[in-house]
Structure 1
Amino acid sequence: MRLTAMIRTVLVMIALLLTAAPGRAAEGNDRQLADLIAGMLKAYGGEAAVARVEAVAARGEIVDFLNGNRGAYGRYFARQRRLRIEIMPDQGGEVRLLDGSRGWQGTGRQLVKAQPVLLQSMVYQYSYLDLPMAFAHHSFPVSYGGRVTLGERELALLLVDPPGSPQIRVYVDPATFLIARVSADFAMGMMGSSELATEYGDYRPAAGVLFPRRLTNYAGTLKLSEITLSSLEVNPGLPAALFAPAP
């Protein structure tokens, strides 16, 4: 009887440990998530300054590594899911528009409804450009993914789930609390899935908030393009017509 009682006691203790461990882990993750986001908002310029960012107009140059050319680049962002991207418009390049759940693509004079995959990619691009502002407004569900190693860097991982977008992996430099990289997986039909990623660099302030002025885009390990922003304006008062095809 004594042996049976001892075995029963050990089993109960093991069961308690197994059931209690996930709760403690969840509490630890919640605490690390809160600390990380608080550190990010402070590093970017303070929660109040970040929350005031409602629109951004950025211009610069894009280098297309696949085609070996370069040209002008423009990006116009407004919170509540509005985005306009102009890629080499001076060379008859592409324009992409996002207005809520609707998207268009084409040249500046001829835009057509965006295909589902491209629409999803525009929602993804809007969503990561909305960081860290979305954290200040609690716009998207977010969870803590722990510490990960990319190359020779140890980074903190946040998992963000915007509606209409694949889950976004946000890699944060724990030393600076700035975003180093964002990525997401896109379904490619019979070809499986592919990771699209953007690495951030050259942070500079505008209206008291830090923004990356260099963005390098990848598909898997293939470097697609690099964007260098020469100007960035916060809350410029962008008209709604900028995000929709001309009548």
Structure 2
Amino acid sequence: MRPAFPLRQLLGVLLALTTVLHWASTAAAEDLAPLLARIEQAYGNVTPPASIMQRGRTISQMQGEGTLIRAYRGPERFRIEIRYPEGTEVRIVDGARAWQRNKPMSEIFRGALLLQAARVALPWNLLAARETLRDGGEHAIGEGRLHFIELPLSGGLKLVVEVDPESGLIRRSRGILAAENGSEMVFGTIYEDFRNVDGRRYAAVEHHFAGGRYIGRSYIEDVEFDLPLPDTLFRPEIPGMI
């Protein structure tokens, strides 16, 4: 019988990460091959999409409920737009530049957006980088087990993906961002309610964490792949900006 992963179990060791990163070693492709094959089977079409558009709603612990739009066109071109009753939050990364509400932002802010873009592109970016993955092994989570895989990203960023080894589904991910003082910022996501669209599987419910705190959840109600997303989506709306 495949182990169940209730939300309370997935919450259990969400932040138990540093020990894995210290001893995980680069995995030979053949070592992770059986698990990657189960991921491929679980998610259907594993060809990396040229673009991803997600629409839905999000519930923030701080700002309440808002409508959600995410636009992804590669690992360094990403936009998230949330329309709350009190106003609209827009965050954009385009290569070396990042903005929030049309204001240029720091490299740390850019890194956080790159981690979010990498999360949206799961599992396709994970499968495409199989030669650079790091194997964290299996760990007991409640009554089941999850297999930890580290996906190294550009600029020293890391994404740790936790996979149900029986179903091949990604149940949790953690983005790791090095802060200026040498500490690490951890952004966690728990995935639930898996659905299919255009031959690809995705999680329709996401629970979000930052620094060990629960910060809200998102409901992905519509997903489209390989749309021709225009460059203007990844530019701030500033007069005279090219």
Report the TM-score when normalising by structure 1: 0.78
Partner of 1:85: 80
The farther-off stretch of 232-241 and 29-38 is 29-38
RMSD: 2.4
Any idea what SS the aligned residue of 2:228 has?
Answer: coil
Query: Are residues 1:37 and 2:36 paired?
Result: yes
| SS of equivalent to 1:88 | strand
Match of 1:222 among 199, 205, 213: 213
Count of matched residue positions in the alignment of Structure 1 and Structure 2: 214
Distance 1:189 1:52 in 2: 33
Identity %: 26
Query: Are 1:195 and 2:186 an aligned pair?
Result: yes
SS class of match (1:54):
coil
Provide the C-alpha distance between the structure 2 equivalents of 1:79 and 1:73, rounded to a whole number of angstroms: 19
Is this contact kept in 2: 1:123–1:165, CA < 8 A? Answer: no
More helix per residue: 1
Deviation at 1:157, TM superposition (A): 0.7
* Alignment-mate amino acid for residue 206 of structure 1: V
Secondary structure (helix, strand or coil) at the match of 1:160 reads strand
Please list, as runs of the form range in 1=range in 2, the aligned pairs for 1:1-247 lying within 5 A after superposition: 30-45=29-44, 49-51=45-47, 53-67=49-63, 69-88=64-83, 91-106=86-101, 111-138=102-129, 141-189=132-180, 192-246=183-237, 247=241
Distance in 1 separating the partners of 2:49 and 2:197:
10
Note if contact 2:158-2:177 (Cα within 8 Å) is conserved in structure 1.
no
Question: Which sections of structure 2, spanning at least 5 residues, go unmatched?
Answer: 1-24
Call closer, same or farther: CA 1:185–1:72 in 2, change over 3 Å. same
Q: Which runs of 5+ in 1 are unaligned?
A: 1-25
- Tell which structure's C-alpha radius of gyration is larger: 1
Higher relative contact order (CA 8 A, sep 6+): 2
Distance 1:27 1:243, change over 3 A: closer
